Structure 1
Amino acid sequence: MTILDDAIGLVSPAWKAARLRSRAVIRAYEAVTPTRTHKARRENRSANQLSQMGAVSLREQARHLDNNHDLVIGVFDKLEERVVGSKGIIVEPQPLLTSGRIAEKLAADIRKKWAEWSVSPEVTGQYTRPVMERLMLRTWLRDGEVFGQLVSGNAAGLEPSAGIPFWIEALEPDFVPMTSDEASGMNQGVFLNDWGRPKKYQVYKSLPVSGRQFDTKEIDAANMLHLKFTRRLHQIRGTSLLSGVLIRLSALKEYEDSELTAARIAAALGMYIKKGDGQSYEDGGTGSEADDRELNIQPGMLYDDLLPGEEIGMIKSDRPNPNLETFRNGQLRAVAAGSRVSFSSASRNYNGTYSAQRQELVESTDGYLILQDAFIAAVTRPVYRAWLKMAIASGQIVLPRGVDMDSLYNAVYAGPVMPWIDPVKEANAWKTQIRGGAATESDWVRASGRNPDDVKRRRKAEIDENHKQGLVFDTDPANDKGGTSAEATKPGEPPPESERRKK
C-alpha cells in the first residue's frame, strides 16, 4: 500500500479495497511486472507501423548477409531446394468432362503448351520458369516480399512465348514505394478499399536509385502478384524471414572472423630468448653479434649458441579454439529455429542415426510445405490460371466438346517432397501404402519429383520396345518369377524347367 491508498481509505474504504484487488489481479502474472532482471519489453505498434519503420532496413541487412555470409547463403539455397526445387512447381492439369472423367487429351495439350511457355515466361527472356520461381522465392524470404506483374496481350518489345501473349514481370520490393497518402487511400504504395483489400499498386517504372526520382505507374490488383512474409494480421507489406535472427547471424559472423584472425596470428610461430639478469650479459648495442643471431629450425636440432643466463621460450598458441564448433552449433540451432530450416541443413552437419535424421527431416518438412503452399497460392496458381485463359483466347489450346467449364482450371500443384534417407525402407513403405489403399502410384511418382503421366508414358514405351526387341528383364513385374532375370520367360518361349516342376 502507498500513502495515496491510505488517504483514499480514510475517505472511501470500498474504493481503497477495489484498488488493492485490481493491483493484486494485475500482479497475478509475474511477467507483466518489470523488475531488475525482467525488463518486460512490450510492442504496442501496429504491423504496418513496424513495416514503415523497419522493413527497408531489414531487407537491406538481409541482402548484405546473403552477399557475404556463407551461412545465410546456405540457408536460402536450402530453402530454394526444398520449397521450389530444381524443376520448379509442377503443375498437372485436371480438367474434367461432363461425365466426370478427366479430359486426357485436353490435359495433354495444356501440359505440352505449359512446358513450351515455361522456357521463356518472363519479360526479360533471361530465365526459365523454374529459375524465375527460385529467384522470386529467394527475394520473398530474404526481402520479405516480391511482386510480379501479369502482362497479357500485345506489348511493345515482347515476343509471345509458345505463341501465347502472356508474360510475367518479376519485381523486387524496391519497385513499390513505402509512401502513404490518406486522401487517395494509398498505404505503403498499395491502394486499399474500405475492407482493406488491395485495389491497385503504385510501381516505379524502373529500379529506383537513391537520390533520384522516377516516374511511377499504377497496376490493377488483378494483374499484380504480391507474395509477402508476415507474422501478423492486417500487415500490408512483408518483412524479412531473418528479422528475428539478424542480430545473431551478424554477431556470429563477427565472432568467427575474430576467431579466424586469432588462429592466423597463432599459426605464425613465435619464439623469444629470455635474457638473464642485467649483469649476466653485456649490452652490445645495435649491430652486435648477439642481435644478428638467427635460429634455423629443423627436426632434431640442437642450439648451443645461447649466452650465459639465456633460454629459448615459445609463445603459447591456444588457437584454433576447441570450443568454437560446439558454440557455433548452438548458435546455428537457434538460427534454424527462427528460419524454418533444420539444424542439419543450416550447419551441413548430418551426423546421427537413421531414426534421428528422419525425425528431424519429418519436422522440418512441415515448415517447407507451409512456405510451398504460400508460394503456390500467391504465385504459381494465379500465373497458371491467367496463362491458361490467354492460351485459350489466343487459340493455342482448343477446348473439345463435353468439357466441364467449371473444372477447366483444376490442377494439382506439387513441389519437392520429403527426400529419402534410406531408399529401400521408403520404397517398401510406399508399396505398403498403395496396396492398403492409402496412397496412389501417382503420389509415389510425385514424391520423387517427377510427373506421373510422363513416367507412365516413358515406362510403357520402354516395355513395348523391350518386347519388340525380344529383351526380357525382371524390372518388368510381368517377367518377375521370383528368381533371377536369367530364369525369366522370354515372349513366345515355354517356361523354364523350374517353373514346370512347380506346376
Structure 2
Amino acid sequence: MIGELLDRAIAPWAPKAALERMHARSVIMAYEAARPSRTHKAIRETRSADAALQPALQSIREQVRALEENHDLVTGLFDRMDERVVGGPGIAVEPIPLRYDGTVHTAFAEAIKAAWAEWSLKPEASGELTRPQVERLVCRTWLRDGEALAQMLQGSVPGYEHLTSVPFALELLEPDYLPLGYNDFSNGIVQGVERNAWRRVKAYHLLKEHPGNLGSLSFGQSTKRVPAEQMIHIAHRKRIGQNRGVPLLHSVLIRLADIKDYEESERVAARISAALVMYIKKGTPDDFVMPGVGQQQAHRSFNFAPGMVFDNLLPGEEVGTVESNRPSPFLEGFRNGQLKAIAAGARSTYSSVARSYDGTYSAQRQELVEGQLGYDLLQHEFIDYWCRPVYRAWLRMAVMSGHLKLPPDVNPLTLYGAFYQGPVMPWINPVHEATAWELLVKAGFADEAEVARSRQRNPSELKASRTAEIQQNREAGLVFSSDYYHQTYGIKQGNEPTDGNKEPADVDAATRVDGNGNQSGE
C-alpha cells in the first residue's frame, strides 16, 4: 500500500522511475494468489499466534459451548470424539518395567497395575469421577474449548485429604481459570502463562474461582501462581509458539450456525404450510360494499367437512388457499454438502457427523480407514498431553510414598515404561479381519499381543483369562476348538506332558484326535 502511494506521488515527476517500480512490484508478486483483486480479497494474517488469538479466543470458545448446548449435530460430533479418542474404558495403561537383562518384570508390573486400578476409582479431587470419566471429560473440554487444565495434588496438601492410598489427585480446571487477558510482559507473563527467555513454562497464574460462577465477580479477581511442575495443560495448538489452545470447531463455526438458522427457517415454513389457510376473493372492486357509518362488517365463518358441497359464497366471490412449497426440496442436498465441509474441518467423517450410513461397503470402509487416522492422531496427542504425564506423576508419587517398593532387579531407567492403548478401528468384516491377523501371526509379521490390542484387550489380562479358562475346561473334561493342543494330542486330565515332549507318552493311541477333532486309532 505504501509503495503504491509512493508510485503515484513520483509518477508526475519521474514517470520512468515509477514505471520501473511498478514493474518490479509485479515481478515480486508473481503468484496470482498474492494479488488482491475485485474477486480475490487476499486476506492475510501477519500477527503472531498469541496476537491473533487474544481478541478472538473467548468469543470462539463461548460460541462453541453454546452450539454444544443447543445444536444436536455439535453434541453428536463431540460424543463421537469421546468414543473414538478415549472410549468407554478410557486409555488403558500396560506397565512394562524391565529387568537389567531386558526381560519384563511381570510381578512388579502386576503390582503397578493393581495400584493403578485402585487409584482409577477416585483420581480427581472431588471423588465424583472415575479415571475413564475424567479422561472423557478432559478430552471433551480440550476439543470444545481448545484446552483444559489440571492441578496435581501430590503428597501432603493443606486442607485436602486424599481419597486413595497413593497421595496423588487431580483438580480439574476449565480454561476460564487461566485468564486470557492477564499479561505482564516485563515478567514474561502472556495470557496467564509465565515463561522464561527460552519460552519454557515456569508457572501458571490461575484465578481462585471460575469467573462465571454464581455470585462471583468477573473483574478484579485475584490470581495465584502455580509452578508448572504442579500443572497439566493440554492445548489444541495450530501454530508454532501458540500459547493457548484453539477450539477444534474454530473454522466451521459459521457453517454450523448457518445450518442451524436455515433448518429453523425451514421448520417454521413447514409449520406454516401445514396449517390450511384460506381466503375469499371478492371479485371486482364494485362487488365490495363498505359497511355504513356505525356499522361493522358481519363476521362470516364456515364449517367444513370431508366430501361436503359448499354453496354459501356471495355473487362474485371465490375461495383460494395459501400454498407453501416448504420445506424446500434442496434442503437435504445443501445440508449434506455443509456437513461434509464441517466433517473435513473437524477431523471427523461425514457419516459420523450426519449419522448417515447408506453408502456402499467399499465407501464405508474407505471412510472408516481415513477417519481412523484422524482419530488416532488426536488419541496420540491426548496420550502425550494428558495420559503419560498423569501416569508418570502418579507412579513417581506411588514409589516415593512407599506404596510401591521398587525391586532391586528392576532397571530404574525403565520404571516409567508403559504401553498406552485407546480405542482402535472396529472390524467391519470380522471373518476377513480375523483371517488376516491369523496369517500375519503365522508369518511372523505380528504377535498375539498386537492382535489382542486390535480388539482393545489387554494382552496380559487376556492371556491370564485364557489360561484359567483352558485349565477349568480340562479339569471338567471339556474339549473345545479353542484348545487346539487338547484336540490334537487328546490330552485328558492328568496326562499333560511334564518333560517338554511334544506328545505325552502315556496317551492311548486309540483316543488320539486329529486337528479337526476326529479320533484316529491303530
TM-score (norm 2): 0.87
1:264-283 pair list within 5 angstroms: 264-277=271-284
Give CA deviations for 1:94-138 in whole Å, capped at 9, x if unaligned: 000011100000011111110110010011111111111111111
Please give the alpha-carbon distance, in whole angstroms, between the structure 2 residues aligned to 1:87 and 1:197: 34
Q: Which runs of 5+ in 1 are unaligned?
A: 482-487
Q: 1:267-286 deviations in whole A, cap 9, x for unaligned?
A: 11223344444566878985
**Cα deviation digits, residues 324-379 of structure 1 (max 9, x gap):** 11110101111111111111111111111111111111111111111111111111
Aligned position for 1:118? 120
- In structure 2, do the counterparts of structure 1 residues 428 and 480 end up closer, same or farther at CA, with 3 Å as the change threshold? farther
- Residue type at the aligned position of 2:389: P
Correspondence 1:139-154 to 2 at 5 A = 139-154=141-156
| Pairing of 1:174-189 with structure 2 (within 5 A) | 174-178=176-180, 179-189=182-192
Alignment-derived partner of residue 246 in structure 2: 239
Contact 1:165 1:390 in 2 (8 A): yes
Distance 2:60 2:434 in 1: 44
Q: How many residues align?
A: 490
Amino acid across the alignment from 1:122: E
The answer as to 2:506 corresponding to 1:494 is: no
CA shift in 2, pair 1:495/1:436, >3 Å: closer
Cα distance in 2 for residues equivalent to 1:467 and 1:301: 82
Contact 1:189 / 1:201 at 8 angstroms: preserved in 2? yes
Correspondence for 1:484 = none
TM-score (ref. length: structure 1) = 0.91
> What CA distance in whole angstroms lies between the structure 2 residues aligned with 1:276 and 1:18?
75
Partners of 2:255 and 2:79 lie apart in 1 by: 19
* 2:54 corresponding residue in structure 1: 52
Cα separation, 2, equivalents of 1:225 and 1:144: 14
Report the 3-state secondary structure (helix = DSSP H, G, I; strand = E; otherwise coil) of the residue aligned with 2:64. helix
Q: Which amino acid in structure 2 is aligned with residue 84 of structure 1? A: V
Query: Is 1:384 equivalent to 2:384 in the alignment?
Result: no
Q: Quick one: which amino acid aligns to residue 123 of structure 1?
A: A
Task: Tell whether the 8 Å contact from 1:471 to 1:490 is kept in structure 2 after alignment.
Answer: no
* Equivalent in the alignment of 2:340: 333
Choose from 229, 242, 246 the match for 2:236. 229
Tell me the residue number matched to 1:90. 92
Question: Are the aligned partners of 1:472 and 1:489 in contact in 2 as well (CA < 8 Å)?
Answer: no
Shift of 1:432: 2.2
2-structure distance, mates of 1:319, 1:478: 68
Provide the rounded CA distance (Å) in 2 between the counterparts of 1:246 and 1:359: 27
Q: Distance in 2 between matches of 1:101 and 1:441?
A: 17
CA contact (8 A) 1:59 1:143 kept: yes
Query: 1:62 offset after TM fit, Å?
Result: 1.0
1:36-435 maps to which residues of 2 (within 5 A)? Answer: 36-178=38-180, 179-208=182-211, 209-277=216-284, 288=298, 291-298=299-306, 300-435=307-442
**TM-superposed deviation, 1:171:** 0.9
Query: Paired residue for 2:502?
Result: none
Contact 1:113 1:162 in 2 (8 A): no
Alignment CA distance shift 1:355-1:120 (3 Å) = same
Asked if the contact 1:198–1:221 (Cα under 8 Å) also holds between the matched residues in 2, the reply is yes
Structure 1 residues 306 and 494: alpha-carbon distance in aligned structure 2, compared to 1, 3 A threshold: farther
Name the CA distance, whole Å, in 1 between partners of 2:235 and 2:32. 36
User: Is residue 2:467 matched to residue 1:460?
Assistant: yes
Question: 1:502, 1:148 → 2: CA distance?
Answer: 68
Q: Deviation per CA, 1:403-426, whole angstroms, max 9, x where unpaired?
A: 111111000111111112222222
Say if 2:8 and 2:18, in contact at 8 Å, map to a contact too. no
Is the 1:472–1:490 Cα contact (8 Å) retained in structure 2? no
The AA in structure 2 aligned to 1:198 is V
Shift in CA distance, 499/376, structure 1 to aligned 2, threshold 3 Å = closer
Give 1:183 shift.
2.1
Report the counterpart of residue 498 of structure 2 in structure 1: none
Task: Provide structure 2 residue ranges, at least 5 long, that are not aligned to the other structure.
Answer: 1-6, 494-509
Q: 1:470 and 1:297, CA in 2 relative to 1: closer, same or farther beyond 3 A?
A: farther
State how far apart, in whole Å, the 1-side matches of 2:480 and 2:178 are: 60
Q: Deviations over 1:112-165 (max 9, x none)?
A: 110110010011111111111111111111111111111100224444344100
Q: Which sits farther off after the overlay, 115-124 or 211-220?
A: 211-220
Amino acid aligned to 1:360: E
Bigger Cα displacement from structure 2, 265-274 vs 208-217: 208-217
Superposed displacement of residue 392, structure 1: 1.0
**82-91 or 467-476: bigger deviation:** 467-476
Alignment match, 1:485? none
Indicate conservation of the 8 Å contact 2:479/2:487, yes or no. Answer: no
Percentage of matched positions with identical amino acids: 47
Q: Offset at 1:26? A: 2.5
**In the aligned structure 2, how far is the partner of 1:453 from the partner of 1:146?**
33
Q: For 2:511, give the aligned amino acid.
A: P
In structure 2, the CA distance between the partners of 1:412 and 1:311, relative to structure 1 (3 Å rule), is same
